[in-house]
């Protein structure tokens, strides 16, 4: 579903991604862990073109995102993204947030989009919040609306960029539950996270990144219990 | 007493011209300023630089001199004489564009970057991102500065009297020559200016609230413990 080959990304003189190769299969859940500054968020942001890539290639669902502007737009329609800071549109209600892209990009009629949005809000447990503005919602509720907003485009892939890092510890669970349900339904997911428990339990494969490189990749049972690389061992010792 | 009412009415008529001048030049200046604001944040240097230069230069020139440039310069350049009202309209619109251009630029850039990223990630094109996501938020940010700009415009319009257009300040000057009571005439004018400015700031405050639906039409949060009755 996602094929990343020899991906390099530099900000000025700083090379934050130094030759990433990664293949993600349909319905696979891949969690990316690693220390701050390891390039994991940048990698994620390259997949839907929020960062331009310096060299290498990313192909999503058969579409090479670097080949043309049209391809980039096509990939963005197929890839949903959830941000650390939610980034809900504060001047719109939860429902308006969810229907904006389907009506503007997918050209759904308003009634179709509203019907879809209501189902999605119900699915993330927020049917009664459809007319609330983001400022009236808790962080966990905002993030669930953001997930519903991304799902409203019926993406083939979902990207999560530290979706629980801005949340109070006691409401992290509600967002992780929503993501777990999504994984169970077979969504292809790439998740940058500091939630080791979630990575261990939900991911099919876990990627450990450090200093712009993939250091180790494997089934979570192996990676968390028997890390092969000293840098992985060192990192896991610190966070677990 | 009758004379006083007559004088006040005369000033009110001139205040009407001041309002008309400010309304027309305010609308034209804001429209031009909106374009300048967008140009200033453009990635294309051919759009960005002319706007940056325009804003910097016009903001660096006293309004009075700009009025003279338009009043004496346009006939030289175009060979047509401008009516004083039209001169005032053009001058104030040019000044207003420079100030509102800067206000729009600042307001658009004050909208958090995550907003345009979220819109882009959802597949929205540049126009939808700007008009449906960024601008509605930028407008609210722009209102306080915009209110200040309009109040300044009203006061700057008093300079148009110098080229012979009878707006409020010039009318007060004429009145003082007739009544030989400059203090009274200018006081009346000041009171009228004050009420115009006061009305603008009230409308601005109202607009700011209207553009902030999440605070203006606040509904209680259902899960707010303070609002949940705790037994009987």
pLDDT digits 0-9 by tens, B65-106 = 999 999 999 888 888 888 899 999 999 999 999 999 999 999
**Which of A101, A128, A136 has its CB closest to that of B214?**
A136
Task: Give the pLDDT mean for B30-40.
Answer: 96
Non-local (6+) Cβ contacts of A101 within 8 A are A149, A152, A153, B122, B123, B124
B134-158 residue pLDDT tens: 999 999 999 999 999 999 999 999 9
Q: Report chain A residues whose CB lies below 8 A from the CB of B137.
A: 89-91
pLDDT above 70 (res B45):
yes
Across the interface, whether the CB atoms of A80 and B219 are under 8 A apart is answered no
Give the single-character DSSP code of B122. T
Per DSSP, the residues of chain A read -EEEEEEEEEETTEEEEEEEEEEE-TT-EEEEE--TTSSHHHHHHHHTTSS--SEEEEEETTEETTT-HHHHHHHHHHEEEE-TT----TTS-HHHHHHHHHHHTS---HHHHHHHHHHHHHHTT-GGGTT--GGGS-HHHHHHHHHHHHHTT--SEEEEESTTTTS-HHHHHHHHHHHHHHHHTT-EEEEE-S-HHHHHHH-SEEEEEETTEEEEEE-HHHHHHS--SHHHHHHHHHH-
Query: Contact, A133 vs B214, CB < 8 A?
Result: yes
Pick the residue of A44, A88, A136 with the most B CBs within 10 A to test the interface with B by mutation. Answer: A136
Q: What is the DSSP letter of B49?
A: H
The beta-carbon neighbor of A87 closest among B115, B124, B211 is: B115
Rg (CA), chain B: 23
Tokens describing residue A111:
């009634």
Alpha carbon distance A212, A86 (integer Å) = 25
Nearest residue of chain A to residue B132 (CA atoms): A100
Write down the pLDDT at residue A67.
84
Mean pLDDT score of chain A, rounded to an integer? 93
> What distance in Å separates the CA atoms of residue A172 and residue A156, rounded to the nearest whole number?
25
Whole-model pTM over 0.80? yes
Tokens 């001139």 sit on residue = B14
Tens of pLDDT, residue by residue, chain A (240 residues): 999 999 999 999 999 999 999 999 999 999 999 999 899 999 999 999 999 999 999 999 999 998 888 899 999 999 999 999 999 999 999 999 999 999 999 999 999 999 999 999 999 999 999 999 999 999 999 999 999 999 999 999 999 999 999 898 888 999 999 999 999 999 999 999 999 999 999 999 999 999 999 999 999 999 999 999 999 999 999 887
**ipTM of the complex as predicted:** 0.90
pLDDT averaged over every residue in chain B: 88
Residue B204, SS3?
Answer: helix
- From chain A, pick out residues whose CB is under 8 angstroms from the CB of B117: 50, 83, 87
Q: Which residues contact B211 (CB under 8 A, 6 or more apart)?
A: A91, B136, B139, B140, B143
Burial status of residue B33 (CB atoms within 10 A of its CB: 0-12, 13-18, 19 or more) = buried
Which chain A residue's Cα is nearest to B126?
A: A73
pLDDT higher than 50, residue B220 = no
Least CB–CB distance from A73: residue in B123, B137, B213 = B123
């Amino acid at each position: 579903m996602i094929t990343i080959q020899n991906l390099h990304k530099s900000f000025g003189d700083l090379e934050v991604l130094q030759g990433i190769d990664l293949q993600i299969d349909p319905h696979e859940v891949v969690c990316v862990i690693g220390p701050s500054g390891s390039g994991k968020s940048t990698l994620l942001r390259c997949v839907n073109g929020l960062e331009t890539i310096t060299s290498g290639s990313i192909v999503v669902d058969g579409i090479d995102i670097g080949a043309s502007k049209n391809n980039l737009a096509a990939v963005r329609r197929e890839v949903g993204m959830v941000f650390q800071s939610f980034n809900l549109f504060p001047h719109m209600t939860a429902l308006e947030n969810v229907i904006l892209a389907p009506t503007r990009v997918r050209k759904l009629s308003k009634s179709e989009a509203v019907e879809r949005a209501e189902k999605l809000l119900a699915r993330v447990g927020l049917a009664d919040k459809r007319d609330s503005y983001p400022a009236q919602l808790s962080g966990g509720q905002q993030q669930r609306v953001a997930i519903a907003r991304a799902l409203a485009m019926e993406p083939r892939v979902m990207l999560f960029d530290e979706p629980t890092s801005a949340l109070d510890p006691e409401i992290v669970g509600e967002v992780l539950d929503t993501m777990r349900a999504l994984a169970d339904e077979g969504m292809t997911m790439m998740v940058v996270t500091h939630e080791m428990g979630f990575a261990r339990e939900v991911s099919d494969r876990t990627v450990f990144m450090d200093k712009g490189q993939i250091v180790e990749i494997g089934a979570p049972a192996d990676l968390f219990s028997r890390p092969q690389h000293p840098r992985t061992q060192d990192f896991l010792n610190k966070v677990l | 007493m009758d004379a006083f009412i007559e004088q006040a009415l005369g000033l009110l008529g001139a205040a009407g011209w001041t309002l008309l001048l400010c309304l027309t030049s305010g609308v034209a200046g804001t429209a031009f300023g909106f374009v300048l604001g967008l140009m200033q944040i453009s990635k294309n240097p051919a759009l960005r630089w002319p706007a940056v230069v325009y804003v910097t230069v016009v903001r660096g020139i006293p309004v009075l001199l700009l009025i003279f440039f338009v009043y004496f310069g346009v006939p030289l350049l175009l060979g047509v004489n401008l009516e004083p009202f039209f001169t005032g309209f053009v001058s104030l619109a040019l000044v207003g564009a420079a100030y509102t251009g800067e206000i729009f630029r600042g307001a658009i850039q004050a909208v958090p970057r995550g907003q345009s990223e979220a819109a882009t990630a959802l597949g929205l094109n540049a126009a939808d991102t700007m008009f449906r996501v960024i601008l509605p938020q930028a407008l609210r940010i722009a209102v306080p500065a915009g209110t200040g700009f309009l109040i300044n415009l009203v006061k700057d319009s008093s300079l148009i009297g110098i080229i012979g257009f009878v707006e409020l300040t010039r009318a007060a000057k004429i009145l003082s020559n007739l009544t030989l009571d400059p203090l009274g005439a200018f006081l009346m004018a000041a009171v009228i200016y004050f009420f115009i400015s006061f009305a603008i700031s009230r409308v601005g405050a109202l607009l700011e609230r209207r553009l902030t639906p999440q605070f203006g039409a606040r509904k209680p949060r259902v899960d707010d413990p303070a609002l949940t009755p705790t037994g009987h």
